[in-house]
Amino acid sequence: EIVLTQSPGTLSLSPGERATLSCRASQSVRSSNLAWYQQKPGQAPRLLINGASTRATGIPDRFSGSGSGTDFTLTITRLESEDFAVYYCQQYDGSPMWTFGQGTKVEIK
C-alpha cells in the first residue's frame, strides 16, 4: 500500500499570500494517478487537480499542481478568503487501490 504523507499539518497564512502544500508518497506514483481536493467544513471534498497538474473544471488558475515520482506540490499563488480549507492529496496505485493523505489545513493567520 502506498502511503501519502502531507506537510505541513497546518499552514497559517494571510489572504494574498502564497501557499505551498507538500504530498510525499512512500513509493513512486504515476503523475496521471495523483489528485488534490479541497474540503470546507460541512461540505464534501471538491476535486481541484487531477493528473498531478491538470485543473478540474471551474478551478481558478491560482491553483496549480506539480511534481513527479514521490514528491508532489499544490500551490495557491494568492490566497483568497474562500481558499481557507483542508486540502488532501490522493493516489491510485493500480492494484487497484485508492489512498488519501492525512490532509493539510490552511488557516487564516
Partner 1 sequence: QLQLQESGPGLVKPSETLSLTCTVSGGSISISSYYWGWVRQPPGKGLEWIGSRYYTGSTYYNPSLKSRVTISVDTSKNQLSLKLSSVTATDTAVYYCTRLPGYEFDYWGQGILVTVSS
> For residue 74, what are the CA distances in angstroms to 11, 56, 83, 95?
13, 13, 13, 25
Which of residues 11, 23, 25, 37 is near partner 1 by CB under 8 A?
Answer: 37
Stretch 3-32: interaction string toward partner 1, x if CB under 8 A: -----------------------------x
**Considering the rule CB under 8 A, would residue 90 count as an interface residue with partner 1?**
yes
- Please report how close the Cβ of residue 78 comes to partner 1 at its closest, in angstroms: 25
- Please report how close the Cβ of residue 97 comes to partner 1 at its closest, in angstroms: 7
**Considering the rule CB under 8 A, would residue 104 count as an interface residue with partner 1?**
no
DSSP, residue by residue, 11-79: EEE-TTS-EEEEEEEEEEE-GGGEEEEEE-TTS--EEEEETTTEEPTT--TTEEEEEEEEEEEEEESS-
Q: What are the residues binding partner 1 (CB under 8 A)?
A: 1, 32-35, 37, 43-47, 50-51, 56, 88, 90-92, 96-103
